[in-house]
């Protein structure tokens, strides 16, 4: 399942932050802001093409409000804050701190002992963190 829709709340909430989106956009040539807003395919493309040679990176300056609104509608808000989880993943991901924050103690411990499962799990979490948080928040 690529996304979890808000079944009980048709009104969107503010699950993602435009401020964080713009801060990540500064490093947008790496695709960080696209991963944050739940666009892992284009995030990966941006990573390998340096933001589509800077052109896509510049265009995203104007697209971030739309990506933020889409993410706010698409993902379930709740006890786990998306921004905190993304900051923990970005800076402490190989240590599994973001997984501890989400209440996933077993995999957090595995990440801590294996460097985020030898960085493969760390990359997996870049692709799936929004869905993981939505699932935890929906419970």
Which pLDDT band holds residue 12 (cuts at 50, 70, 90)?
low
Residues in the chain: 139
pLDDT in tens, 57-67: 999 999 999 99
- Boundary residue ending a domain (54, 76, 98): 76
Domain of residue 136 covers: 78-139
Mean pLDDT of 31-40: 94
pLDDT in tens, 95-134: 999 999 999 999 999 999 999 999 899 889 999 999 999 9
Q: Are residues 60 and 84 in the same domain?
A: no
Q: Are residues 108 and 86 in the same domain?
A: yes
Number of domains in the chain: 2
Q: What is this structure's pTM?
A: 0.82
Average pLDDT over all residues of the chain = 89
Residues 75, 15 contacting (CB under 8 angstroms): yes
Judge whether 1 lies within some domain: no
Mean pLDDT of 11-36: 86
Determine what percent of the chain is predicted with pLDDT higher than 90.
77
């Amino acid at each position: 399942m690529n996304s979890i829709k808000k079944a009980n709340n048709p009104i969107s909430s503010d699950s993602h932050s435009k401020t964080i989106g713009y801060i990540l956009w500064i490093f947008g040539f790496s695709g960080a802001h696209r991963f944050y807003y739940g666009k892992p395919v284009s995030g990966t493309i941006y990573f390998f093409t340096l933001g589509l040679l800077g052109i896509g990176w510049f265009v995203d300056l104007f697209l971030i409000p739309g990506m933020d609104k889409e993410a706010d509608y698409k993902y379930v808000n709740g006890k786990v804050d998306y921004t905190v989880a993304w900051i923990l993943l970005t800076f402490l991901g190989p240590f599994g701190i973001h997984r501890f924050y989400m209440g996933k103690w077993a995999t957090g411990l595995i990440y801590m002992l294996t460097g985020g499962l030898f960085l493969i799990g760390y990359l997996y979490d870049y692709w799936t963190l929004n869905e993981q948080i939505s699932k935890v928040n929906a419970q």
